[in-house]
A = this chain, B = another copy of it.
Amino acid sequence: MAADEQVTLLDTWASSIGMRVRIALAEKGVKYEFIEQDLWSKSGLLLQMNPVHKKIPVLVHNGKPVCESLVIVQYIDEVWKDKAPLLPSDPYQRAQSRFWADFVDKKIYEHGRTIMTTKVEDQEATAKKDFIDTLKLMEGELGDKPYFGGETLGYVDVALLPYCCWFYTYEKILNFSLEADCPKLNAYCKRCLQKESVSKSLEDPKKIYDFALKLRKKLGVE
């Protein structure tokens, strides 16, 4: 990276969507400054850098902000294009990668939000089943590939991998076992955590669970 290159990430340590950006930066070997944000008392910097949504993550590159995790990941892929490409080069394969990353956003992210904002006793059988069915669909898409990106970690992996440290929390809240219900996805998470770019970008699942319980108490669902 050039000596005058300044990369800052406005994020919160437990955020699954912030972790996407961390994985992408790590894959590209980009050094950056991580500035933890308080979302209950938003900083002037966050409000200045993301006036539209006022959310994390925000990547600030040489003073210019990029917002929305998957927009940021594509930006990282295009700026630092000489190392570890995240999107394939073929337009049809790129479209498939974008489709599945969008699926992770629409389905898994939304499921995660519902799980976190619902009391344990109200986690209906149907919602739990839908979540597990969604994970099984991802397993089907992974198939026998080591990564969704094929032989190397790609865009869809970046979108999905943060959940590997959140699954412990979902298992507890929903009372299911990833290993039992989605063994392939479980194995995928274990395998990917062996990569430094992933293990250094994710957080300890037990710390995430403590955090989740405190957050659920604050939201009045625990």
Q: Which A residues fall within an 8 A CB radius of B?
A: 52, 61, 64, 66-68, 71-72, 74-75, 78-79, 91-92, 94-95, 98-99, 102-103, 137
Contacts and interface: CB of A to CB of B under 8 A. Distances in A.
Contact of A137 (B52, B67, B74, B94): B52
14 contacts: A61-B92, A64-B92, A66-B95, A66-B99, A67-B99, A68-B99, A71-B95, A71-B102, A72-B95, A74-B95, A74-B98, A75-B91, A75-B94, A78-B91
Would you call the interface of chain A mostly helix, strand, loop, or mixed?
helix
B98 A52 contact: no
Contacts of A68: 98-99, 102
A75 B61 CA distance: 27
A133 to B, nearest CB: 12
Nearest to A62: B92
Number of copies: 2
Contacts of A52: 103, 137
Given A74-B95, A78-B91, 4 more contacts: A64-B92, A66-B95, A68-B99, A72-B95
Contacts of A66: 92, 95, 99
Contacts of A71: 95, 98-99, 102
Contacts of A91: 75, 78-79
Nearest to A80: B91
A94 B78 contact: yes
